[in-house]
Chain A
């Protein structure tokens, strides 16, 4: 099992972890350079400053996604996830985000219209806790007794033990995220230690209001509830902050779907075209003035109007889209057999600086393994078959590799 290190912004503070051996403590300060910023924040657990522009970052729960988004999610921003067709992988990332909040002891705000937020929280994946300090009274330090460990311990080349392993999966060398085992459910003790707030849409009946406005009552109620939580729990940056600061993680599931009362996904010319965009504007306003970070999932495959999707994307900061192969002909395509789907990065924000951290590659694919959600660059395997032309395989990765113009056809030599 690989060692994960729980890194806080205050690097001088000693790690207070019961299950670390002295040898592990020595290799805590990894060799990656971290810009020294005189941060005005008292160090908040689970955050670190970005090396590019000093922005305060939190982990999204998926280490590869953190790397893709420039180190993590910046506090005060919104991540938009365009759901895949059956909402399986986007829901997974949503749960990773919330689970990361539980493990880092952030506060959570979960809003959903389809499932009760209690049920969503009971399905969170179990963290792989070999080095995380979770206060559990009278707990034995966990010893990882898997046989894989003996393979990792090097006897001859022990100097190289500390170096990160070279891997094609996108990962940065200094990790502040955690890994989760999706085959297990998070233990109730860990979950109940977290403080969280809920908004379940069927519990909030729309008040009868006479004002005509483009905003839906469901979204207005959600915005109001979120503002109340931010102000009451001390996340508002305008008010004097309490001594111990924390981050609020906001998870909004499936906004824009019909269950929220919105008809964006049902009609070609929806009546409430601007309800979701007005809500996202208000959400951005709330987040910019508070210590919180939001993940919003939208069933974009049901929205016919691409221009509307474009304006929704522009109102969020980070935006990714998941396209899973389930149920499509690509599932059996041998080119994609290693992956579960494609991941498109639609937008990366420019925050407090001119440049943005664009990803290196645009052709990315993801795979959900038991202990890791990996995002990798899509490689075309060498064509070792007798026939030269790849007939009948539809549009293989050539379409994934093309960017704005898709006029490139595969060249047959």
Chain B
């Protein structure tokens, strides 16, 4: 996790707001570093994490998390992390074999028009079982769901309505019922006017459902090697201490072992 981002969000592994739906979005940029932050943050906070990783392999997340101080293999062994590796599971669905030993979660690939019910059922089963666990297991904190990323579902043929239904069901289960958190990444490409109907609708729908959005985009003045982009944070509801700061903008630079955030114009390359 990135300590500067914790300061900005006013959160720490010991105390964070429960029941939040955090939306990470990007436009012509890559916000996946934020997923790594939240993954290591919630694992350090001893939450039970369900990670739906649709675009990268397990070893990629493991390698990055190790640099951030968390071991995903250990977390999986201890039962703290449920990892759905979408790429691996999808092969058995995309290339039908004679012996059908497929994971039901990715079966939406066979018929995307039918919706994401099977994926939701997978999430529900992995998140709910924590509360009904036996005494022998360690007691983990509230459940957390991370999804990386939601826009690839649109590329695979799932309708926007189905994706919004899925996120709504997840929010209802995880945030409202179980007082956990949900973090989803959605990616856009191109200018806001050029977006096709689907991704614009998805963006708006998810923004409406979320209570905190972090939007990553490139610098408006162009490409720069030392400043990789800017992050716009937007809180929907009032924070617990009564302060109401709706929007904040920071610039960032991604390093090997972390990301540094700074106020606009205060990059070390400039000062």
User: Given the interface contacts A277-B156, A353-B63, A354-B258, does A404 sit within 8 Å of B194 by beta carbon?
Assistant: no
For chain A, give the interface size range. Answer: 35 or more
* Residues 18-75 of B at the A interface (beta carbon under 8 Å): 28, 30, 32-33, 36, 55-57, 59-60, 63-64, 67
The reply to whether B223 and A404 contact each other, CB–CB distance below 8 Å, is: yes
- B136 is an interface residue with CB less than 8 A from chain A: no
* Residues 182-217 of B at the A interface (beta carbon under 8 Å): 187, 189-190, 194-196, 199
- A50 is an interface residue with CB less than 8 A from chain B: no
8 Å CB contact of A224 from B60, B95, B189 = B95
The reply to whether B94 and A307 contact each other, CB–CB distance below 8 Å, is: no
1/0 per residue, CB under 8 A from B, across A344-365: the answer is: 0000001111111010101000
| Cα distance A350–B222 in the bound complex, in angstroms | 21
The reply to whether A223 and B255 contact each other, CB–CB distance below 8 Å, is: no
The reply to whether B189 and A277 contact each other, CB–CB distance below 8 Å, is: no
Contacts of B223 in A (CB 8 A): 362, 403-404
The reply to whether A313 and B189 contact each other, CB–CB distance below 8 Å, is: yes
- A284 is an interface residue with CB less than 8 A from chain B: yes
Tell me the smallest distance from the CB of A282 to a CB of chain B, in Å.
4
| Cα distance A308–B222 in the bound complex, in angstroms | 24
Name the residue on A nearest B156 (C-beta): A278
Tell me the smallest distance from the CB of A210 to a CB of chain B, in Å.
13
The reply to whether A354 and B95 contact each other, CB–CB distance below 8 Å, is: no
- A114 is an interface residue with CB less than 8 A from chain B: no
- B154 is an interface residue with CB less than 8 A from chain A: yes
Contacts of B254 in A (CB 8 A): 354-356
User: Given the interface contacts A311-B151, A358-B225, does A282 sit within 8 Å of B187 by beta carbon?
Assistant: no
- A402 is an interface residue with CB less than 8 A from chain B: yes
* Residues 193-237 of A at the B interface (beta carbon under 8 Å): 212-215, 220, 223-224, 227
- B256 is an interface residue with CB less than 8 A from chain A: yes
Contacts of B109 in A (CB 8 A): 278
- B132 is an interface residue with CB less than 8 A from chain A: no
| Cα distance A17–B32 in the bound complex, in angstroms | 45
Contacts of B94 in A (CB 8 A): 215, 220, 223, 278, 281-282, 285
Contacts of A307 in B (CB 8 A): 189-190, 194-196, 199
The reply to whether A311 and B87 contact each other, CB–CB distance below 8 Å, is: no
Name the residue on B nearest A401 (C-beta): B222
Name the residue on A nearest B68 (C-beta): A354
| Cα distance A319–B17 in the bound complex, in angstroms | 39
- B157 is an interface residue with CB less than 8 A from chain A: yes
Tell me the smallest distance from the CB of B53 to a CB of chain A, in Å.
11
User: Given the interface contacts A274-B156, A277-B156, does A282 sit within 8 Å of B112 by beta carbon?
Assistant: no
| Cα distance A311–B199 in the bound complex, in angstroms | 10
Contacts of A362 in B (CB 8 A): 223
1/0 per residue, CB under 8 A from A, across B249-271: the answer is: 00000111111000000000000
Tell me the smallest distance from the CB of B161 to a CB of chain A, in Å.
16
Contacts of A285 in B (CB 8 A): 87-88, 90-91, 94
Contacts of A4 in B (CB 8 A): none
The reply to whether B110 and A213 contact each other, CB–CB distance below 8 Å, is: yes
User: Given the interface contacts A306-B190, A314-B189, A404-B218, does A282 sit within 8 Å of B91 by beta carbon?
Assistant: yes
Task: Add 13 more A-B contacts to A352-B64, A354-B259 (CB < 8 A).
Answer: A212-B111, A213-B110, A227-B91, A274-B156, A282-B91, A288-B56, A306-B189, A307-B190, A311-B155, A354-B64, A355-B255, A403-B223, A404-B222
Provide 18 A-B residue pairs closer than 8 Å at the C-beta atoms, listed in order of the A residue. A223-B95, A273-B157, A274-B112, A281-B87, A282-B94, A284-B55, A306-B194, A307-B194, A307-B195, A307-B199, A311-B152, A314-B187, A350-B33, A352-B64, A353-B256, A354-B64, A354-B67, A404-B223
